[in-house]
């Protein structure tokens, strides 16, 4: 039981993984509702034919479920990346970016530079880079969505 007494948030090797595990981004109400809407939009005849054909669960997931909810999956990925870029409260409460800079996320870096170090210009530059990155991801996602619909 000695491995359970490890300082998970104090070890640079495990700190980021621990913070991610605590706030696992895919188990949130909004994301689950988006997936639920995708599954509810699938026609009943598809489910009936899957049952009649006797498709195995893994094959059904890879061949039917994921392709039919691909739009919702892409939306959830983009929303999760945006949230991870901006969210810093959990990291600030748990580790404050430490140990060292092992859990320093872009949102916390922006916050610390703006309000703790009073480096408003640097914080503004971080915010602009975050905005450009998120905007480019959103544009890329919309282009991929348009190509897959054609």
Please tell me the distance from the alpha carbon of residue 150 to that of residue 142, in angstroms, as a whole number.
13
pLDDT in tens, the chain (150 residues): 666 677 888 888 888 888 877 766 556 788 889 999 999 999 999 989 988 999 999 999 999 999 999 888 888 888 888 877 778 888 898 899 888 888 898 999 999 999 999 999 999 999 999 999 989 988 887 887 676 666
- Cβ–Cβ < 8 Å for 100, 11: no
DSSP assigned state of 112: I
C-alpha triplet 21, 23, 24: angle, nearest 5°: 60
The domain that contains 6 carries what CATH number? Answer: 1.10.3720.10
Q: What residues make up the domain containing 137? A: 2-149
Bond from prior residue into 150 cis (ω within 30 degrees of 0): no
**What pLDDT shows up at residue 69?**
92
**What pLDDT shows up at residue 115?**
95
**What pLDDT shows up at residue 26?**
55
Domain count, the chain: 1
Per-position b or e across 107-121, b if 16+ CB within 10 A of its CB: bbbbbbbbeeeeeee
């Amino acid at each position: 039981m000695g491995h359970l007494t490890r300082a998970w948030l104090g070890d640079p090797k495990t700190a980021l993984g621990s913070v991610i595990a605590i706030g696992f981004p895919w188990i949130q109400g909004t994301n689950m509702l988006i997936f639920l809407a995708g599954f509810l939009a699938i026609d009943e005849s598809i489910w009936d034919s899957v049952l009649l054909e006797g498709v195995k669960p893994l094959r059904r997931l890879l061949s039917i479920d994921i392709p039919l909810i691909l739009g919702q999956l892409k939306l959830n990925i983009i929303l999760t990346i945006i949230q991870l870029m901006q969210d810093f409260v959990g990291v600030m409460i748990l580790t404050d970016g430490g140990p060292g800079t092992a859990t320093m996320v872009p949102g916390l870096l922006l916050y610390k530079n703006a309000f703790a170090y009073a480096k408003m210009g640097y914080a503004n530059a971080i915010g602009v880079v975050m905005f450009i990155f998120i905007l480019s991801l959103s544009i890329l996602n919309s282009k991929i969505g348009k190509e897959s619909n054609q």
